Amino acid sequence: MTAPLDGIRVVDWTHVLAGPACAYYLGLLGADVIKVERPGRGDAMRHRGGTDKARAAEGMSTAYLTQSAGKRALAVDLTTDAGREVFRHLLTSADVLVENHRPATLERMGLTEAETRALNPRLIHCAMTGYGRQNDMAGAPAYDVNIQAISGLMALTGTQETGPLRTGAPIVDYATGMAAAMAVMAALMQREKTGQGVFVDVSMLETAFALMSSTITDYRLTGTEPKPRGNAANSRSPSSGVFTCATGQISLGVNEEAQFQALAQALGHEDWLSDPRFAEAGARDAHGEALGAELSEVLRTRPAAEWEERLMAAGVPCAQLRTLPEALALPAAQQRGFAMRGAAGFCGLPFVLEGASSHDAARSPRKLGADTDTVLKDLGFSEEEIETLLSRGIVASA
């Protein structure tokens, strides 16, 4: 068993969710990840997010824990010259720097991508920002909720009655983390060919756009502004969407002719297949409201769980609407173990790589500065130098 990124060192100088998630994903693939935080409070996400206030008060909120396992924790004050010198020393040993600070912050600290790569020409400097570089919004701050609002994603979510709605989970943060991890992997492959590091520019806004790619294409080619459609399917098939049952709701994804035939038969309505309103796709589109009404009438006669079992057996794409606890109890969740197959039993990657193992998967999320001494020793600092840095408050240990 080998880890794909074994031998790769990642410096995680990030905060909140997207940046730490990127570094976490790289760690799950075997990288040695060193989390760099300011002494005292550390990553602000340590103290917020989630419902467990006691853990948050201890600097180990559930939101922080989610993407912090498997990392070593170094606390160093980068507002000081001595702290930045320690950081530069760390970068000379690194393959990848992941950071999500505004360009002005990097300039003020002398840690721009030009400066970090001059220090280490093989370094891959991955910058994650709200709007990316080379545009008039490059310096603007942003969180997931801001990007959902500004990108148009919220305007697509909900109904005309509810108005725009944010998605229930910070999907832009985690999608940006995945996009950045993919970009870093591509940069590492490129470095194998050129021997040189590169600058990786990751935009949260563009990640949100990527999640809406087909919608964007439709708008660009047709000029039709998309509207919120509630629980209707993006395919716009009248036999797709979410329907209320006797108890619960069921989502249908019936878009192909064979699927509609299977649906009609499983529901006991073979007559739909000879009904001129529903017999072929064009007619179903023209009489979508009538088909939807008949589907609703039938589906209301039995519980969603019963319909799901029957329709799945017939090969009809469908799913009963579930809560998160119910979803985590599914065989596909339990048997594959996503929620616990990551480092130290936290969430893992959304894929399984045959023949690969995670690097140091047992390391639990660390207290602020828990590995400061060992990281500095690895970098060649003597006991006396470390003690001096600690006494001056340049670095801190748990």
Which residues are identified as catalytic? 173
State how far the Cα of 287 lies from the Cα of 272, in Å rounded to an integer.
Answer: 12
The answer to whether the CB of 203 falls within 8 A of the CB of 132 is yes
Three-state secondary-structure class, residue 63: helix
- Find out whether 109 and 78 touch, Cβ atoms under 8 Å: yes
Half-sphere exposure (CA, 13 Å, Cβ side) for 363? 23
Of 15, 76, 73, the C-alpha closest to 364 is 73
d(CA 44, CA 34): 17
**Greatest Cα pair distance in the chain:** 87
365: amino acid identity, one letter: P
Q: Which two tokens stand for residue 188?
A: 């590492």
Tokens representing 394 are: 């340049």
Sheet holding 9-13, edge to edge: 199-203, 124-129, 96-99, 9-13, 32-37, 71-76, 395-396
CA–CA distance, 167 with 135 (Å, rounded to integer): 27
CB distance 47 to 56 below 8 Å = yes
CA atoms of 8 and 116, how far apart (whole Å): 17
Backbone angles phi, psi at 248, to 5 degrees: 80, -175
Is 96 in contact with 123 (CB distance < 8 Å)? yes
- E strands, 206-343, are 240-244, 249-253, 318-320
- For residue 34, what are its two tokens? 């060193």
Decide: 343 and 3 in contact? Cβ < 8 Å. Answer: no
Question: What is the torsional sign of CA 146, 18, 126, 154?
Answer: negative
Q: Name which of 225, 224, 206, 221 is nearest 156 in CA terms.
A: 225
